[in-house]
Structure formats: C-alpha cells, structure tokens
Amino acid sequence: MRNLLARLATRVVHGYFAYARGMTLGVRAACFDAEGRVFLVRHSYVPGWHLPGGGIERHETAPQALAKELREEGNLLAGDPPRLFHVYFNRRTSKRDHVLFYVCDNVRQSAPKRPDREIREAGFFSLDALPEGVTPATLRRLDEVAGRTPPADFW
C-alpha cells in the first residue's frame, strides 16, 4: 500500500511539475566524505535510502540546485568541485524527467541533519555497510561510480 501511495504522490507532483516546468530536470549526487563514506537520505514520502538531490527550479542553475539540495537534505558542504558524472532519463517517473548525476568528494557536514517533514534519516555510510533498504537505482549508481558497471542511460 505504501509503494502505491508513494507512486501516486510522485505522479501527482510530477504532473504539477510538467504543467509548471514542461520538462522536469533534477540533480542527484554521490557525496563522499574524506573517509570514503557515502551520504544517503531516507525520505518521508518514498521508501528506501536514496542519494541526495531534487528538482531544478526556474531561474536556478544545476550547480545552484545541487548546492541547495545538499544543504537542505544533509547540511552538506562541497569540498572538491562537483563533477558531472552522467545524465539519465528517468522514464519511471515521467516521460520528460532527466537527472544530472554528480560525484562530490571531500564533502563535509556543517551540522548533523535532524529529521524534518521531508527527511526522516540521513547519514554517511561505509560502502561495505550500507543500510538495509537502499534503492536499486542508488546501488546501480554506486556501482557505476566505482567503475564496476558502465553508466546506463536510464535512472
């Protein structure tokens, strides 16, 4: 039932975005701290652990959107400049949704992320000790960044 509600909520939100934006474009990032741990978030409105990110708003550049999402979802500050890794078509969400996927190294947290309406949990995890429930798409992106598989065209 929760997955059905999550899919319905996603469709409603993206329906609004399609009206408001035309094509939807978002950013996500694999954020690694100095110890090589990856930062993941668990949202209140969809199941699983995800890489941080969100939509690019009108009059906002992709780097601005990325910095905003990292700040909002994890109190994260970029260390090294973000590197665009790949562009994905997110056809499961919408016929017009694309994701700019970045890799951010030497990320640090200005303060622990406290739970709020959007983010229930967040934290850095060792790649060999990821939390239960990491989404398949997140696992695929981490495999791609590690060079174990080539980047796919679809999220």
pLDDT, tens only, 26-74: 999 999 999 999 999 999 999 999 999 999 998 999 999 999 999 999 9
CA atoms of 63 and 61, how far apart (whole Å): 6
The pLDDT value recorded for residue 68 is 98
122 three-state secondary structure = strand
Confidence tier at 20 by pLDDT (50, 70, 90): low
Tokens 């408001």, residue?
20
Q: What type of residue is 79?
A: G
Per-residue pLDDT tens digits for 96-118: 889 999 999 999 999 999 999 99
pTM of structure: 0.85
Structure tokens that stand for 130 in this block: 């990821």
Distance of CA 95 to the CA centre of its chain: 19
The pLDDT value recorded for residue 102 is 98
Q: What type of residue is 58?
A: R
Closest Cα partner for 30 from 152, 110, 140?
Answer: 140
62 three-state secondary structure = helix
Per-residue pLDDT tens digits for 62-80: 999 999 999 999 999 999 9
